[in-house]
Structure 1
Amino acid sequence: MVNLRQPRDVAQILLSVLFLAIIIIACLWIVRPFVLGFAWAGTVVIATWPLFIRLQKLLFGRRSLAVVVMTLFLFLVFIIPIALLVNSLVDTSGPVIRSVTSGEMTIPDLAWLNSVPVIGAKLYSGWHSLLEMGGSAIMTKVRPYIGTTTTWFVGQAAHVGRFVMHCALMLVFSALLYWRGEQVALGVRHFATRLAGQRGDAAVLLAGQAVRAVALGVVVTALVQAVLGGIGLAISGVPYATIFTVIMILTCLVQLGPLLVLIPCIIWLYWSGDTTWGTVLLVWSCVVGTMDNVIRPMLIRMGADLPLILILSGVIGGLIAFGMIGLFIGPVLLAVTWRLFSAWVHEIPPPATDPDVVLHELETLEDKNKQ
């Protein structure tokens, strides 16, 4: 009996694929405002899940109490510092914006140049000679650009509100993920297994380990260094310590370190004549600037046994490619790819370590082919 193959209905296949694509795109478009908040919530929950489980055991196994405590903890860690930062930025930038918009900003006198040894008087005289030759004209040309830049920064206030909204969504999604974390994780693993079998499940588990490694080794290290550096700035009497602390967090996240902010502050303290606190901040900066060499590898090993260069490359590359969320996307992609590549390579036994043995086997095979 001959089985005749039924002709494929190409139109039906194309329309089915088109219909599925439309459904997927529509769903992604609907949930697009919540993606960033959910991504941050997933990252936070994955990184703090072991802490959450320990807290639940301490609270007599009550999941609801543990969720409330962890949500309050995230509120204290994220929302309150962000509110203080925004308030500090508004208070600091208010006088600058008013002086720029009113046209009262003038070129500074730089009288402190006279205190520079040997060349101070010449620098001060040269600066004022430049002002006399056309300082007002220079300021007239520069002021419109300053005003435009200031207007741009004022316009970015909407982004602050959007960021606060994402933080609120992060708190809500974090509470939901804490409450149903096991079910969500099992669903993701089931979907990955349906796509790629056991390797898909392994990729999801590895992604979770990589997220925890990055959160512990990179973010926690950056926060510790920045907070300790900010404490040193505040104690030493450096103004705008809060803003400098935020800048240090960013420089530490991109692996530039806190010294990029601390060294100019030390120079300023010595320049202003406060040598005592300048020396204290110098010693403190040496401790803060080198502590990441000890903390980061230890914390990364606690999250996942991954090469340090892989994590750091993923952090920097992900930050450039995807923004702040790239701090986690970059290392996760590199880690999963590296582990899958390593598993694929090790499916066969390694070659012989002695090259003479390999060459002898090759010669034997060539002799057999000639015969």
Structure 2
Amino acid sequence: MISRPPVAPPELPTPPDCLKKQKAASLVLYIALVLLALWVVRDFIAVAAWAGVIAIALWPLLQKAAGNRWLAGRTTLIATALTLAIALLVVLPVGVGIAQALREAHDMNEWFQAAQENGIPMPDVIQRLPFGVQQVSAWWQANLAQPLRDSAAMKGLHSTTVMTLGRHFGARAAHGVMVFAFMLITLFVIFQAGPRLSGSLMKGVRRGFGDDGAQLLARMAAAVRGTVSGLVVVGLGEGVLLGVAYFVTGLPHVALLAFVTAIASMLPFCAPLTFGLAALWLFSQGSVAAAVALAVFGSVVVFVAEHFVRPVLIGNSTRLPFLLVLFGILGGAETFGLLGLFIGPALMTVLVVLWTDLVQ
């Protein structure tokens, strides 16, 4: 007789309570794995976030380039060109600034040596101050007009504290270069993925959160894009206008000053520091009229840009009121640093959408 293998009894259906426990256990496992993965790549989250902000801002340009008949299908070429453009926009101004600083290093060293031997002569502008002339003159004569070689400040410059600060600055600079390099690599990968990445992301959001989630994601992307336009474009505009004012008033190193002003103008309420210091330098050189004119012109430019142009650019794209735009930018910067300038308005957009859904 041929023996037949024993037939396994049919599996009993899993009770509903067991299914619920299995789903809950699977959810806990997925969350734990996601948190573990985020912890592993925690040092690169900011890198990916910066790359995401830049990619969102340039996404319309990427789509326009991909739709061109001469560039259709050449995703690697488009990604390379856009990534190199971003790298040059950062590297070239920084390189120009470093080169300018190196050219001025010789004169600064001579001035420093003269200050050590002879002190710093009191500028004539102090005698023209409206008040406090005697107090400022006495302090200057006691602390700066004498040879600085034996002063406590100069002794501190040769201490180990300066060496420690120098090493710390070098380490931070090296870390910044590394972060920037990884950001460019991440940005290239995002650009190369192109529409495939966008389609997969929207598909996953629709599957997980429905059409409302997809619309919310689209509005957050619009908020980031509008914030980039409002901060970067307006900052560059302020830098150009104030650069013209620097040239007219006769300030040295106009290009470098305009670049620093443009960078400062991208941060809320920081532009007055740059043109204010420039006006103060003109005032110290005896150019009172030029200093006053620069201060007035800069104040008008910053007032118009901060209160009219920038809120319109950001608010129209995000459909946010001005106060929420301001809270999002300042609160985001305080919480997340520079990256928060772009994350804050996006989070305010989520808040407005949730509030609208609640009251409707």
The TM-score range, normalised by the shorter chain, is 0.7 to 0.9
- 1:325 equivalent to 2:339? Answer yes
- Take 2:332 and 2:162, find their aligned partners in 1: how far apart are those partners? 28
- Take 2:135 and 2:167, find their aligned partners in 1: how far apart are those partners? 35
- 1:36 equivalent to 2:49? Answer no
Which residue identity lines up with residue 253 of structure 1 in the other structure?
M
- 1:268 equivalent to 2:295? Answer no
Which residue identity lines up with residue 51 of structure 1 in the other structure?
L
- Residue among 94, 97, 100 paired with 1:82: 94
Once the two structures are superposed, the pairs formed by residues 12-161 of structure 1 within 5 Å of their partners are: 19-58=29-68, 60-64=70-74, 65-88=77-100, 104=116, 108-112=120-124, 115-116=127-128, 122=134, 126-127=138-139, 130-131=142-143, 139-140=151-152, 143-144=155-156, 148=161, 151-161=164-174
Q: Would the alpha carbon gap of residues 9 and 146 (structure 1) be closer, same or farther in structure 2, given more than 3 Å must change?
A: farther
Aligned-pair CA distance for 1:121: 7.3
Which residue identity lines up with residue 345 of structure 1 in the other structure?
V
- 1:306 equivalent to 2:306? Answer no
Aligned-pair CA distance for 1:215: 0.7
Question: 1:293-315: per-residue Cα shift (whole Å, max 9, x none)?
Answer: 44323422553322222222111
2:195 alignment partner in structure 1: 182
Q: Would the alpha carbon gap of residues 225 and 105 (structure 1) be closer, same or farther in structure 2, given more than 3 Å must change?
A: farther
- Take 1:10 and 1:90, find their aligned partners in 2: how far apart are those partners? 68
- Take 1:160 and 1:129, find their aligned partners in 2: how far apart are those partners? 38
- Residue among 190, 198, 217 paired with 1:204: 217
Question: 1:194-233: per-residue Cα shift (whole Å, max 9, x none)?
Answer: 4433332222112111111111112321232134324533
Q: Would the alpha carbon gap of residues 136 and 84 (structure 1) be closer, same or farther in structure 2, given more than 3 Å must change?
A: closer
Q: Would the alpha carbon gap of residues 236 and 25 (structure 1) be closer, same or farther in structure 2, given more than 3 Å must change?
A: same
Which residue identity lines up with residue 319 of structure 1 in the other structure?
A
Which residue identity lines up with residue 169 of structure 2 in the other structure?
Q
2:10 alignment partner in structure 1: none
Unaligned runs of 5+ in 2: 1-12
Aligned-pair CA distance for 1:139: 3.1
Q: Could you tell me whether the CA contact under 8 Å between 2:117 and 2:148 is conserved in 1?
A: no
Which residue identity lines up with residue 162 of structure 1 in the other structure?
H
1:192 alignment partner in structure 2: 205
Q: Could you tell me whether the CA contact under 8 Å between 2:122 and 2:140 is conserved in 1?
A: no
- Take 1:303 and 1:119, find their aligned partners in 2: how far apart are those partners? 49
- Residue among 218, 233, 245 paired with 1:232: 245
What secondary structure does 1:82 align onto?
Answer: helix
Aligned-pair CA distance for 1:21: 5.0
- Take 2:162 and 2:117, find their aligned partners in 1: how far apart are those partners? 14
Which residue identity lines up with residue 329 of structure 1 in the other structure?
I
Q: Would the alpha carbon gap of residues 344 and 278 (structure 1) be closer, same or farther in structure 2, given more than 3 Å must change?
A: same
What secondary structure does 1:329 align onto?
Answer: helix
Which residue identity lines up with residue 81 of structure 2 in the other structure?
V
1:338 alignment partner in structure 2: 352
The 10-residue stretch of structure 1 (165-174 or 234-243) with the greater mean CA deviation from structure 2: 234-243
* Cα RMSD after superposing both structures: 4.2
Aligned-pair CA distance for 1:326: 0.8
Which residue identity lines up with residue 313 of structure 2 in the other structure?
L
Q: Would the alpha carbon gap of residues 162 and 83 (structure 1) be closer, same or farther in structure 2, given more than 3 Å must change?
A: farther
Which residue identity lines up with residue 108 of structure 1 in the other structure?
I
Question: 1:148-200: per-residue Cα shift (whole Å, max 9, x none)?
Answer: 36742552222222222222233332232223232222222233334433332
Aligned-pair CA distance for 1:277: 4.8
- Take 1:20 and 1:336, find their aligned partners in 2: how far apart are those partners? 25
- Residue among 169, 177, 180 paired with 1:167: 180
The 10-residue stretch of structure 1 (59-68 or 163-172) with the greater mean CA deviation from structure 2: 59-68
TM-score of the superposition, structure 1-length normalised?
A: 0.73
What secondary structure does 1:323 align onto?
Answer: helix
- Take 2:351 and 2:343, find their aligned partners in 1: how far apart are those partners? 12
- Take 2:280 and 2:156, find their aligned partners in 1: how far apart are those partners? 32
Q: Would the alpha carbon gap of residues 80 and 135 (structure 1) be closer, same or farther in structure 2, given more than 3 Å must change?
A: closer
Aligned-pair CA distance for 1:136: 7.2
| Percent of residue pairs bearing the same amino acid type | 23
The 10-residue stretch of structure 1 (144-153 or 165-174) with the greater mean CA deviation from structure 2: 144-153
- Take 1:258 and 1:317, find their aligned partners in 2: how far apart are those partners? 19
- 1:315 equivalent to 2:329? Answer yes
Q: Would the alpha carbon gap of residues 323 and 129 (structure 1) be closer, same or farther in structure 2, given more than 3 Å must change?
A: closer
TM-score of the superposition, structure 2-length normalised?
A: 0.75
Q: Would the alpha carbon gap of residues 66 and 19 (structure 1) be closer, same or farther in structure 2, given more than 3 Å must change?
A: closer
Q: Would the alpha carbon gap of residues 24 and 111 (structure 1) be closer, same or farther in structure 2, given more than 3 Å must change?
A: same
Which residue identity lines up with residue 209 of structure 1 in the other structure?
A
What secondary structure does 2:242 align onto?
Answer: helix
- Take 1:151 and 1:242, find their aligned partners in 2: how far apart are those partners? 32
Aligned-pair CA distance for 1:272: 1.3
Which residue identity lines up with residue 80 of structure 1 in the other structure?
L
Q: Could you tell me whether the CA contact under 8 Å between 1:59 and 1:66 is conserved in 2?
A: no
